[in-house]
Amino acid sequence: MIATIVLDVGETITRDDRHWNSWADWLDIPRHTLSALVGAVVAQGRDNADAVRLARPGIDLSAEYRAREAAGRGEMLDEADLYDDVRPALSELRRLGIRVVIAGNQTSRAGELLRALGLPADLIVTSGDWGVAKPQPEFFERVLEVAQAAPEETVYVGDHPANDIFPAKTAGLRAAHIRRGPWGHLWADEPELVAAADWRIDSLTQLTSIIAS
């Protein structure tokens, strides 16, 4: 039985287009250049923030986030950043009595913006709120705390094998890999991922069939 579904944020419920475009504009480089760098670090299995570090060697990301906020060019999230299936899928899960949690590697500010959208979720929390990030085991310990369910009754949904699927399985959770965004598409058919994921989906609406199975 599945009691709780926990969802990643970037490229699971939100598109990252605005995020990377805003960084390119802030760094005053062509958007295509940063997009290509993102693709390169993804293919190498590196942290996606390395794309910014490649564009500006030695950059202090925390300081840059603060500078962007001070300049009125900080993080933004609104309805347009959500994938179309998010609201209907989450609403149906809650109608079925499933606890819905959103927990991903984002700043505290991103968490504030997500909560302001009034999403059909029981809890929205970020690594910035917790002070610990994926793929650290402590992140998934916190996930289990807020899931309010046993590990085998909890499903973590994400697009990134190394950040989402593998550490979730190590923590004893069940895992659903979504083929969405660069990470989700690039690694979707890797044998190790295929073997690890309990389910592989293309849309969040497919989560309701997981509950029914």
**Per-residue pLDDT tens over the stretch 127-155:** 999 999 999 999 999 999 999 999 999 99
CA-CA distance, 202 to 205, in Å (whole number)? 9
pLDDT at 151: 97
DSSP designation for 84: T
Rounded CA-CA distance 35/15 in Å is: 13
State how far the Cα of 212 lies from the Cα of 124, in Å rounded to an integer. Answer: 24
Q: Is 172 left (phi over 0), alpha (psi -120 to 50) or beta?
A: left
pLDDT in the model for residue 213: 65
* DSSP designation for 16: S
Amino acid at 180: R
Residue of 144, 137, 153, 138 whose CA lies nearest to 123: 144
Q: Alpha carbon of 49 to those of 38, 42, 132: distances in Å?
A: 8, 10, 16
**Ranges of the chain whose pLDDT falls below 70:** 212-213
Question: pTM of this prediction?
Answer: 0.92
pLDDT at position 53, please? Answer: 96
| CA–CA separation, 159 and 155 (whole Å) | 13
